[in-house]
Amino acid sequence: MNNIGNSVLKKDHSKKILGVAKYVADVHIDGVLHGKFLRSKVAHAKIKSITLPELPDGYTIVDKDDVLGENKVHIVLEDMPVFAIDTVEYIGDPILMVVGPDEKVTEEIVSKIVVDYEELPSILDMTKSEVTFFDYHHGKGDVDGCFENADKVYDEILNTGYGEQLYLETNGMIADYHDGKITVRGSLQCPFYVHAAVKLATGLEKDKVQVQTDITGGAFGGKEDYPSILACQVAVASMKARKPVRVIFDRREDITSTSKRHPSTARYRAAVKDGKITAMDIDIIYDAGAYSTLSAVVLQRGTICATGVYNIENLRVHGRANKTNTVPKGAFRGFGAPQVFFAMDLFMNHVAKGEGRNSLEFKQEHIVVQGNDTSTNGKFHFHVPLREMIKEVDILCDYKNKKELYDKPQSGRFRRGIGIQLAFHGAGFTGSGERDLIKAVLKVKKYKDGTVEILTSNTDMGQGLQTTFAKIAGKELGIPFEQIIVRNPDTDKVPDSGPTVASRSLMVVGELIRRATARLKDEWKDGEEQIIEERYKHPEFLIPFSLAEFRGDAYPTYSWSVQSVELEIDMLTGQHNVIGAYGSFDVGTPIDMNIVVGQMEGGMLQGIGYSSMEFMDHDSTGRIRNNSLSDYIIPTAMDVPVIVAQMHVNEYPYGPYGAKCAGELPNVGTAAAYIEAVEQILGKKVQHIPFTVEDTLRAISAKED
């Protein structure tokens, strides 16, 4: 069981390191046309008229009138048009596409188009929005009674900013309409999501739409819903032009017009009696941007997880996803959780301080244990390993002693602090989505020569899925890893085993692979072609989840993290220097140790970016100001030389070989650790992330006044 974790040479290693792996921008198609978007320059307006320049031969405009199906992009709802109808809702909203053989000429044509806008009032502040896309309430117990009887009430507002996924490979898509069929290929996470969207926009039958996943150069959720939008647009263009159409975003277009992490603002209130939190009242707003996209599901996760790892028996949570006239927000690793886990842990630290208590000790007194109810009256069915993991992290970085040491007055130019954060990630799709919406189907095909192919719609976007899937199959079948084939998904060739999201692929689909190959082993016939199909089975121990009431097991299980960040600040320049980032992670059995640790390390660094340097905002006109890599700063190899990730293995009986969700966990629980360290150094309360060098300088000089 356990030696499956021994690392192997990844399936995709060679072609990527040789530079022969073809990402969508590398695909050469003779006669392909390039597409360039005309995007709105204003945040909210009616389109009064569009004046086109004279078009050279071979150049076409593609817009709403060319959509042969429905001018709607199916994501969860369908409020976003493929091409703008008569209004634009954010700067960057796609109005039309210019298509033609020379990319530079298409750009020139776009620059000559004149749009007459009648500007409308725009909402850029989520707290002032009058359009709430989704509004959820849940709670339990006697919240008002507890607040009435409290010894003390704590009340604060905590804010989190934008996040840009910054996958190194920008979004790109090629569509080819030929013989009544549309084939779309590109950088994407969820081929069947794209399939459904393209089918709606083109009006074509199911078997006349094909989506092929190219090698995807990073995604982190940024290619979960966005590719559906771009795919519809290139598909419509190809159907009009009757030629293949290619759109590859340059970095600025990608940063300013594709999905981002939801900024949030949350009011956290706690009633404390006899030194313990008895009740909490939480009100969260997520900035959804101009269209609803995935905000319902992000909001669900945020409101369900608003109290983090703590057992709060009297609880009221109100969550809203509000519209603003800014870029539509979407999925980014953590999916609503990093915001609330940051808020809750930092809030707990502040409450502890108010109570005169050591923050870690105070937090430990409130941690959930196995058997406790979840916030939605589900159960923590399995062991909660936080206490052991806290000890492990303490050994890794000497948190407790350093916390005490750095509490002593520091007077030098360089001052240090340390923080610790506890988090979980609810494994998989929220609620009964896996059973009712996804209904994953997985196939395994054995060829006559004894090679076995895994037919799955799940994509390898760098997280090593092709390797881990093949390891599971190889181990179950008892045949070499090299004999297992996993290809980039093509909707013509694979069943829908669900999207590559919610950290579900290994845990849910990996288990389907294990079951399918176990059956294949039993039924194996040498020299014959065989196909085994396996369908998702909802674990029976789960307490059914009702979305209408927010009641039941929102997730079948949880992966856990304890992260610590030790920080040094230069009090003269405000510069941050991360001395070390340490984490203990329980993702169940690691299916490949190098892959899992690589995921943890990568996620921790993203968490540090989210806490500090990755500042992004829109200005008073609604324009994203940091639209390039010179302005949106992500960590380099020099920024955090000490990242230590340790696995704490707590097997999950319903996951393959004991594995459970892994991908998103590491960047959910970093920011509060980072900010705790900042607060210790500055001796000042911090209530937002990212906390930049500029924020630091401001805080330092404010202190001196």
Partner 1 sequence: MKYIEFKLNGENVQYEGSAKDRLLDILRETYRLTGVKCGCKEGECGACSVIIDGRLANSCMIAMGSIHGSDVMTIEGFSNTERFKVIDKAYGDVSAVQCGFCIPGMVLATECILAVTPHPTEEEIRRGISGNLCRCTGYNSIVKAIGIAAKEGEGLW
Nearest distance, CB of residue 463 and partner 1, angstroms = 7
Shortest spacing between CB 19 and partner 1, in angstroms: 2
Distant-in-sequence, close-in-space partners of 242: CB < 8 Å, separation ≥ 6: 177
The residue (of 79 and 102) whose beta carbon lies closer to partner 1 is 102
Measured from the CB of residue 143, what is the shortest distance to partner 1 in angstroms?
41
| Distance from C-alpha of 112 to C-alpha of 598, rounded to nearest angstrom | 47
Question: Between 256 and 349, whose beta carbon lies closer to partner 1?
Answer: 256
* Beta carbon of residue 467, minimum distance to partner 1 (angstroms, whole number): 8
Residue (317 or 643) nearer to partner 1, CB: 643
Residues forming beta bridges with residue 285, ordered by sequence position: 265, 320
How many whole angstroms separate alpha carbon 254 and alpha carbon 231? Answer: 15
Which one, of 39, 123, 50, lies nearest residue 88 by Cα?
39
Of 321 and 578, the one with the shorter C-beta distance to partner 1 is 578
Q: State how far Cα 671 lies from the chain centre.
A: 15
- Dihedral, 443, 446, 451, 456 alpha carbons, nearest 10: -10
Packed helices 191-202 and 226-241: angle between N→C axes, nearest 10 degrees: 40
Q: Please identify, using beta-carbon distances, which residue of 173 and 595 lies nearer to partner 1.
A: 595
Question: Are the beta carbons of 585 and 661 closer than 8 angstroms?
Answer: no
Q: Which residues contact 207 (CB under 8 A, 6 or more apart)?
A: none
Q: Which residues of 459-496 are buried (b: 16+ CB within 10 A; e: fewer)?
A: bbbbbbbbbbbbbbbbbbbebeeebbbbbbbbbeebbb
Please state at what angle helix 693-704 crosses helix 671-682, rounded to 10 degrees: 30
Helix (H, G, I), strand (E, B) or coil at 155: strand
Question: Is the CB of 606 or the CB of 611 nearer to partner 1?
Answer: 606
- In the complex, the smallest distance separating the C-beta of residue 565 from partner 1, rounded to whole angstroms, is 14
Question: 295-304 and 337-354 are packed helices; what angle lies between their axes, rounded to 10 degrees?
Answer: 30
Spatial distance between the Cα atoms of 387 and 247, rounded to a whole number of angstroms: 50
To the nearest whole angstrom, how small is the minimum distance from the Cβ of residue 416 to partner 1? 20
| Alpha-carbon distances of 513 from 240, 311, 444, 486, rounded to whole Å | 41, 36, 7, 12
Minimal distance, residue 15 CB to partner 1, in Å? 8
d(CA 36, CA 104): 9
Q: Which amino acid is at 319?
A: G
Nearer to partner 1, 358 or 594 (CB): 594
CB-nearer residue toward partner 1: 70 or 107: 107
Cα–Cα separations (whole angstroms), residue 494 to 212, 238, 335, 507: 10, 24, 27, 19
Least distance between partner 1 and beta carbon 668 (Å): 15
**Any residues with CB less than 8 A from the CB of 471 and at least 6 apart, and which?**
4, 8, 481, 591, 592
Considering beta carbons, is residue 223 or 366 the nearer one to partner 1? Answer: 223
> CB of residue 545 vs partner 1: minimum separation in angstroms?
32
Nearer to partner 1, 141 or 598 (CB): 598
What is the binding site for partner 1 (CB under 8 A)?
7, 9-10, 12-14, 16-23, 25-26, 28, 165-170, 215-220, 250-251, 461-464, 592, 594-595, 598, 601-606, 628-630, 634, 636-638, 640-641, 643
Shortest approach of partner 1 to residue 218 CB, angstroms?
A: 4
As measured in angstroms, the least distance from the Cβ of 551 to partner 1 is 38
Written as one string, the DSSP assignment of 360-414 is HHHHHTTB--TT-B-TTS-B--S---HHHHHHHHHHHH-HHHHHHHHHS---SSE
Query: Cα dist. 367→134, 312, 348, 551 in Å?
Result: 30, 9, 11, 21
| Minimum CB distance to partner 1 smaller for 22 or for 685 | 22
251/357 with CB nearer partner 1: 251
Cα–Cα distance for residue pair 569/496, rounded to 1 Å: 50
Question: Tokens in use for 21?
Answer: 């792996």
Minimum distance from residue 700 beta carbon to partner 1 (Å): 27
CB nearer partner 1, residue 17 or residue 131: 17
Q: How far is the CB of 614 from partner 1 (least distance, A)?
A: 11
